Amino acid sequence: MIVKETSRDPVLQEVIQHINQGWPQTATQPQDPAIRQFFTRRESLQIVQDCIMFGDRVVIPARFRKRIIRQLHRGPPGMNRMKAFARSFVYWPNIDDDIETCVRHCSSCAEAAKSPRKTDLESWPIPSKPWERIHIVYAGPVNGYYYLVIVDAYSKWPEVFRTRSSTTTAALEILEETFARYENPRTLVSDNGSQFISSTFKQFCKAIGICHLTIAPYHPQSNGQAKRFVDTLTRGLKKLVKGENTATFQHLQIFLSTYRSTPSRNSPEGKSPADLFLGRSIRTTLDLVKPQIPSPTEVNTKQNTQFNRRHNSIKREFEANDLVYAEVHQRNATKWIPGTIVERKGRLKELHGDCESSPILPNMPLFMLLDEFNLQPMRPAVSDIPDEPAAPVVEEAILIIPEGESDDDFQDAESSQTVQFEIVGSRIG
Give the global pTM.
0.53
The region of weakest confidence among 196-210, 226-240, 396-410 is 396-410
pLDDT of residue 244: 66
Closest CA to 280 of 186, 155, 158: 155
The three-state secondary structure class of 6 is helix
- What's the first-to-final CA gap in the chain, in angstroms? 129
Confidence (pLDDT) at 37 = 84
Contact 49, 3 (CB under 8 A): yes
In the predicted model, what is the mean pLDDT of residues 111-129? 75
| Phi–psi pair at 141, nearest 5 degrees | -80, 145
CA 123 to chain centre: 19
Average pLDDT, the chain: 77
- Mean pLDDT computed over 296-303: 74
Give me the percent of the chain exceeding a pLDDT of 70: 76
Q: Are strands 133-142 and 187-190 parallel, antiparallel or unpaired?
A: parallel
pLDDT number for residue 165: 87
How far apart are alpha carbons 220 and 228 in whole angstroms? 10
Report pLDDT for 336.
Answer: 86
Q: Choose among 19, 11, 64, 10: nearest CA to 44.
A: 19
CB 206 within 8 A of CB 188: no
Q: Considering only 7-16, 42-51, 113-122, which range has the smallest mean pLDDT?
A: 113-122
How high is the pLDDT of residue 417?
A: 43
| Confidence bin at 217 (pLDDT 50/70/90) | confident
Give the pLDDT score at 120: 67
Q: Residue 418: its pLDDT value, please? A: 43
**337 bridge partner residues:** 326
Is the confidence at residue 82, as pLDDT, over 50?
yes
Q: Is residue 392 reached through a cis peptide bond, with omega within 30 degrees of 0 on the bond before it?
A: no
What's the average model confidence in pLDDT over 215-225?
75
Nearest to residue 147, comparing CAs of 181, 170, 169, 130?
Answer: 170
Distance of CA 88 to the CA centre of its chain: 60
- Give Cβ neighbours of residue 191 (< 8 Å, ≥ 6 apart): 137, 214, 215, 220, 223
Confidence of residue 189 (pLDDT cuts 50, 70, 90): very high
Q: Is the Cα torsion angle 38, 39, 44, 49 positive or negative in sign? A: positive
Per-residue pLDDT at 188: 93
The predicted model gives 3-30 an average pLDDT of 85
CA distances from 278 to 8, 179, 275, 284, 315 (A): 83, 15, 6, 15, 40
Nearest to 162 by CA among 239, 243, 255: 255
Show the domains of the chain with their CATH numbers. 2-112 (1.10.340.70), 133-278 (3.30.420.10), 315-423 (no CATH)
* Interval 183-204 mean pLDDT: 91
pLDDT in tens, 241-289: 776 667 788 888 888 888 888 887 777 677 888 888 888 888 888 888 8
Neighbouring C-beta atoms of residue 78, cutoff 10 Å: 14
pLDDT, tens only, 337-393: 888 888 766 655 555 555 444 444 444 444 444 454 455 554 444 444 445 444 444
pLDDT, tens digit (0-9, with 9 covering 90-100), for 317-338: 778 888 888 788 888 888 888 8
